[in-house]
Chain A
């Protein structure tokens, strides 16, 4: 498997696609990988590394050494209309291959190339029959728990600023 240095998705993304989600999680492994990536993208590199230290990792190598670049972020007119280009974001990415052949990819906002590499490693492990359950239990699940706690706390703080309207009743009801 050969990866060019600069792969872009202009071909597929430049044109407005049908409403069909290309990522419908019919494929359970794909859904699992995506769910793991969603958690890992929110974690710090140090947190992922610390969790991974609990595992006896298999041999692996960089398939794509981490590199930084840009992704153009899109919004939609009115929130739900035709897409438009809002502005770019920095993104770091990497690819890792396990000795057993699984290839993992790491993509994350920002310029933390170590984090991209760790995500790629986790993605490869998630696909491995030997390591999948362990990485879910010891890495992804605790990080997911941590993320949920953080988001719940933020939601509780937000909820406290919600306005409770009441009506002043005047005169005789």
Chain B
């Protein structure tokens, strides 16, 4: 028999109404504005842009507000919005070497051209809660110093000149750049697809995967060659205009991980690399990404791939928090019919079990 179940509409409508009320909270407390979220919870906005895979601060702030601060829900909202817009095309690759650096540190070289620039960082803070921030805090104006006009080349480029570090793989002529928003994922996946996947992957997942390599599951002996954060210009080759049009600037964080060296009978040993790049100031994310990127190169570098972080199918299939949350959270939606059939089967099995294990006396009595 087929039984249609109806009657949830009003409950759903009222639940959403209650959600809107809860979202607003105590109405005697001032409402939070998108500007406030964007300006004062900037790193949450950066994370939603990165993993939502859409650079738009205002939309990310709206998503955070709508999701009541649940960042994975906000990322989901941003991804859904993205699907409503047409795509005009593809930007020219950004040049992180020309970044207006706001922070730039190297853990491998003390004296780098352009210097070690700390910028706005939590590093070296004492991680003590600061009660003065609770209300009415007015920060001091930032200190200033004479800015140098010297360029800040990527550390890996400097090291690369001596051949001590492997150079970045260059594209073959006519190679198509993979796009996992257009074609479903296939394995084995090339590095372009892997980096796209990691760039929008869940920070927590990548952090755990990267951490696992440090603890010995696919060890690759990493050093931070460089982390840089700042603004880069974006250009778009608009065919109607006929040249690459400047679109403005975006904030990016880049991490160059320098890893254990490798050589062969024909190639001199040199350091290998892992790469991380993400929207906004996302240091933990890009460091984790670089660790995992390097781990996923195991096959290419002739290493034994035994650890989870080296298994591209495992990593890439589980890194996306929108996919993951969709599949995990769908479990709470009605499964009455599925469950009913399982229940029927279980009852049948239990009956058979009971009959098979019935005391002989009962069997005899039954006979």
Contact = CB atoms under 8 A, between A and B. Distances in A.
Contacts of B236: 9, 71, 91, 107
Contacts of B168: 76-82
Contact of B96 (A41, A79, A161): A79
A88 to B, nearest CB: 5
A50 interface: no
B92 A74 contact: yes
Interface string A133-173: 00000000000000000011111111111110100000000
DSSP majority for the A interface? Answer: mixed
Nearest to B175: A16
A43 B266 CA distance: 54
Interface residues of B, number: 90
Nearest to A105: B241
Interface string B198-230: 011000000000000000000000000000000
Contacts of B273: 78
Contact of B143 (A18, A37, A160): A160
A93 B245 CA distance: 11
Interface residues of A, number: 69
A72 to B, nearest CB: 5
Nearest to A13: B90
A109 interface: yes
Contact of A88 (B54, B238, B240): B54
A56 interface: no
A162 B114 CA distance: 9
Contacts of B169: 77-78, 81-82
A74 B232 CA distance: 12
A110 B234 CA distance: 12
A77 B82 contact: no
Interface centre among B85, B193, B250 (most CB of A within 10 A): B85
Given A6-B86, A16-B175, A162 B56 contact: no
Interface in A69-123: 69-91, 93, 95, 105, 107-111
Contacts, number: 281
A52 B200 CA distance: 40
A70 to B, nearest CB: 5
B352 interface: no
Given A9-B239, A109-B247, A82 B55 contact: no
Nearest to B54: A88
A90 B78 CA distance: 11
A23 interface: yes
Contact of A159 (B145, B245, B248): B145
A115 B168 CA distance: 38
Contact of A12 (B180, B191, B237): B237
B196 interface: yes
A71 B192 contact: no
A120 B144 CA distance: 37
Contacts of A90: 54-56, 59, 85
Nearest to A109: B248
Given A15-B176, A75-B277, A79-B168, A107 B238 contact: yes
Interface of A: 3, 6-16, 18, 22-23, 30, 33-34, 37-38, 41-42, 67-91, 93, 95, 105, 107-111, 151-163, 165
21 contacts: A13-B90, A13-B91, A38-B246, A73-B234, A74-B177, A75-B199, A81-B168, A82-B171, A82-B175, A85-B179, A86-B199, A87-B279, A89-B55, A90-B55, A90-B85, A107-B247, A154-B100, A155-B147, A156-B146, A157-B142, A158-B147
Given A41-B247, A161-B119, 8 more contacts: A9-B238, A10-B90, A15-B175, A22-B237, A70-B54, A71-B247, A91-B236, A165-B111
